[in-house]
Structure 1
Amino acid sequence: MIATTLGSGAPSVMPSTGWLFEQVLLVDDHALFAQGLAVIIQQESLANKVVIVPSVEAATDSLVHRRGFDLVLLDLTLDGEAGLSLFARLSGHDGVPPVVIISSSDDECTVRAARAAGARGFLAKSASRAALVRMMRAVGQGQGYFPGGVTPLDADVPLTPRQLDVLSLLAQGFPNKRISQSLDLTEHTVKTHLKAIFTHLAVHNRTECVNKARRLGWL
């Protein structure tokens, strides 16, 4: 049985046996979708408990103070807030479980941005039930799960993980202010990262930067 209230009320699913995950945190502000997804997770015996929260702030509080989660399923857009900002909020905290993005937007740039931010996997909201099961089983086995064509980032890329985050959001057309909000950085820090990226790529503007990064396989 699933509770109907989102947030700290912690809707949960409690099937009987054979769990893949003990406790999953589902971060989504669309109640019907979230509850429907929790039902499927229950029916497929993928998790003993699914806790639903509607915001990055609530997710951060749950992960930092409650702990005990084995997996996070994270929507990218939460009432105007960028879901990827969760990675910045959890930076420096130990014991953070793998995060999989569940999004209605599944274009290549979005998928790569999620991967660069640190997501373990990505699943479109339009995906089938079977795809959900495959994704959760893959992540449960310590593997990544991304749509075809998204390959691991090249270890020789001369950018820091944070610079890759900035580059990926830049490729989505985010202005500096939105990049700073998504990554919990100051605009000055974003500009510093962009200057370093431009220097590495020997480019002079954002369009040249994105185009060259794609040619090099950095995006």
Structure 2
Amino acid sequence: MTSALLIDDHAMFREGLALALRQAAGPSLHLRTAAGGAEALALLKDATADIALMDYYLPDLGGAALVRQLRRAGAGLRIMVLSASEDQEDAEAALAAGAHGFLHKSADVGQLLDAMRRVLAGELVRPPDSPLPASLAVLSEQPPGRLTPRQTEVLCLLCEGLRNGEIAERLATTEKTVKAHISAIFAALGVVNRTQAVLAARRAGLFGKPR
């Protein structure tokens, strides 16, 4: 029997897909559901799963950040991302973070079950014509693990579009100090400008969906 965990915040999609999977797979599939990343991680503390099927953009914790936390939460857990996103960079960031597959939500149940079987067998399932450039692996690294708490605060404010002077005022520090933090952030993330830093944070699912 295969144990699966379906993570999606849209109740109608989640319940409909769960019903379709149970009908198609029968008793060979034990399926639980979660409405968000935090709920999924809580479930995995009490029970194991063979595979997680996760939406990429979730209201609490999602994206590459959730992929990494799921990897840490369950030894041997396979992760399949189900997303309506047409953005190739989303697929690349998810795979770079450790997902074992990325499937568009337009797939039918048969295609999903086939992808699940392939992922469980150790294959990597990716969208057609989806390369995985090394640069994406850098952009999808986990910022919190590599930045100080203050640098993470600065990165968050960068994501809000604040200028250096505004960040300095918000954090009650000097603009010179802010510039030093930003230089350290660029070095830690392997990026060269503010736009890349913001994309790195958002692709990792830390501060909301990329704009």
TM-score (structure 2 length as normaliser):
0.64
Match of 1:118 in 2: 98
Match of 1:129 in 2: 109
User: 1:129 Cα deviation (Å)?
Assistant: 2.7
- Larger Cα Rg: Structure 1 or Structure 2? 2
User: 1:191 Cα deviation (Å)?
Assistant: 6.7
Match of 2:41 in 1: 60
User: 1:67 Cα deviation (Å)?
Assistant: 2.9
1:165 aligns with 2:140: yes
Match of 1:145 in 2: 125
SS class of match (1:147): coil
Match of 2:69 in 1: 89
Distance 1:152 1:108, change over 3 A: closer
Q: In the alignment, residue 9 of structure 2 is paired with which amino acid?
A: D
Q: In the alignment, residue 43 of structure 2 is paired with which amino acid?
A: S
Q: In the alignment, residue 48 of structure 1 is paired with which amino acid?
A: L
Task: Report the Cα distance in structure 2 between the residues aligned to 1:119 and 1:86, rounded to whole angstroms.
Answer: 10
User: 1:151 Cα deviation (Å)?
Assistant: 3.1
SS class of match (1:52): strand
Q: In the alignment, residue 39 of structure 1 is paired with which amino acid?
A: L
Task: Report the Cα distance in structure 2 between the residues aligned to 1:153 and 1:116, rounded to whole angstroms.
Answer: 9
Percent identity reads: 27
- State how many pairs are aligned: 166
Match of 1:194 in 2: 186
Matches of residues 29-44 of structure 1 in structure 2 within 5 Å? 29-44=9-24
User: 1:165 Cα deviation (Å)?
Assistant: 1.0
Task: Report the Cα distance in structure 2 between the residues aligned to 1:189 and 1:88, rounded to whole angstroms.
Answer: 25
Match of 1:185 in 2: none
Segments of structure 1 that go 5 or more residues without pairing to the other structure are 1-18, 168-174, 181-187, 211-219
TM-score (structure 1 length as normaliser):
0.62
Match of 1:99 in 2: 79
User: 1:118 Cα deviation (Å)?
Assistant: 1.1
Task: Report the Cα distance in structure 1 between the residues aligned to 2:37 and 2:182, rounded to whole angstroms.
Answer: 21
Higher RCO (C-alpha 8 Å, min separation 6)? 2
Distance 1:152 1:178, change over 3 A: farther
Distance 1:134 1:24, change over 3 A: same
- State whether residues 80 and 99 of structure 2, in contact with CA within 8 Å, keep that contact through their aligned partners in structure 1: yes
Task: Report the Cα distance in structure 2 between the residues aligned to 1:115 and 1:97, rounded to whole angstroms.
Answer: 14
- State whether residues 41 and 73 of structure 2, in contact with CA within 8 Å, keep that contact through their aligned partners in structure 1: no
